Chains A and B, each alone.
Chain A
Amino acid sequence: MENSKKISIIVFAGVIVLFFVSWISKTSGFQSTGLPFGASVRDGFLITLAAFLTLAIISFLYKDNPYYKFAEHLFVGVSAAYWMCVGFWSTFVGNFIPKVSSTLSGFFEVPYKGFDIFYFVPLILGIMLLMRLSSKVGWVSRWSLAFIVGTTAGLNLIRYMRSDFISQVSNTFVPLLVEWQGTGHFFSNFNLSISGQFVMMLGNWVIFIGVFCGIIYFFFSKEHTGFFGAASKLGIWILMVTFGASFGYTVMGRVSLLVGRLTFLFRDWLGLIN
Chain B
Amino acid sequence: MSNSNIGLVISLLIIGAGLVWLLIRSLQGKEVERRIIFLFIGLSVSVPLLFNITFSEKATPIVRAVFDKIENLPEGSRILLSFDYGPTMAPEVEPMSDVMIRHVLAKGHKLYLMGLWATGQSLGSAAVERIIKNDFPNMVDGVDYVNIGYKAGNQGVLNVIVTDFRKLYSTDVNGRDLDSLPIFNDIKSLKDMDLLISVGGGFPGVKEWVQFAGDPGNVPTAGGCAAVSAPLLYPYYPSQLLGLLGGIKGAAEYESEFKKRYKQFGDMPEPGVKMMGPQTLAHLVIMAFIVIGNLSFFFAGKGRRK
Contacts and interface: CB of A to CB of B under 8 A. Distances in A.
Nearest to B95: A256
A273 interface: yes
Nearest to A258: B45
A151 to B, nearest CB: 15
Interface in B60-106: 61-62, 88, 90-92
A245 B231 contact: yes
Given A185-B61, A253-B248, A273-B50, A259 B283 contact: no
B91 A257 contact: yes
Interface residues of A, number: 28
A62 B35 contact: yes
A90 B90 contact: no
Contacts of B279: 252, 255-256, 259
Contacts of B61: 185
Contacts of B199: none
Nearest to A189: B61
Given A253-B228, A253-B247, A253-B248, A259 B45 contact: yes
Contacts of A186: 234
A252 B248 contact: yes
B19 interface: no
A262 B234 contact: no
A238 to B, nearest CB: 15
Given A249-B230, A253-B228, A256-B275, A183 B235 contact: yes
B288 interface: no
B231 A259 contact: no
Contacts of A165: none
Contacts of A257: 88, 91-92
Contact of B49 (A86, A249, A251, A266): A266
B227 A90 contact: no
Interface residues on B, range: 35 or more
A183 B233 CA distance: 12
A185 B239 CA distance: 11
A168 B134 CA distance: 47
A204 interface: no
Contacts of B248: 252-253, 256
Contacts of B275: 256, 259
B227 A250 contact: yes
Contact of B35 (A61, A245, A258, A273): A61
B237 interface: yes
A61 B283 contact: no
A249 B283 CA distance: 11
Contacts of B249: 252
A154 interface: no
A246 interface: yes
B278 A259 contact: yes
B49 to A, nearest CB: 6
Interface in A62-118: 62, 86, 90
Contacts of B228: 246, 249-250, 253-254
A262 B283 contact: no
B286 interface: yes
A179 B152 CA distance: 45
Contacts of B227: 249-250, 252-254, 256
B150 to A, nearest CB: 10
B282 A255 contact: yes
A251 B230 contact: no
Contact of A255 (B118, B230, B234, B278): B278
A133 interface: no
Contacts of B88: 257
Contact of B286 (A86, A251, A260): A251
Interface in A217-274: 245-246, 249-263, 266, 272-273
B272 to A, nearest CB: 9
A34 interface: no
A184 interface: yes
Nearest to B65: A185
Given A245-B231, A258-B41, A253 B50 contact: no
Contacts of A253: 92, 226-228, 247-248
A185 B242 CA distance: 12
A64 B153 CA distance: 39
Contacts of B239: 183-184
Contacts of B41: 255, 258
8 interchain residue pairs of minimum CB distance: A260-B91, A253-B227, A255-B282, A250-B228, A256-B248, A253-B247, A256-B92, A61-B38
29 contacts: A61-B35, A185-B62, A185-B238, A245-B231, A249-B227, A250-B228, A251-B283, A252-B227, A252-B283, A253-B226, A253-B228, A254-B227, A254-B228, A255-B41, A255-B45, A255-B278, A256-B91, A257-B92, A258-B42, A258-B45, A258-B282, A259-B275, A260-B92, A262-B45, A262-B46, A262-B49, A263-B49, A272-B50, A273-B50
Given A257-B91, A259-B275, A262-B46, 16 more contacts: A62-B35, A183-B235, A185-B61, A250-B228, A252-B249, A253-B228, A254-B227, A255-B279, A255-B282, A256-B279, A258-B42, A258-B278, A260-B91, A263-B49, A266-B49, A273-B52
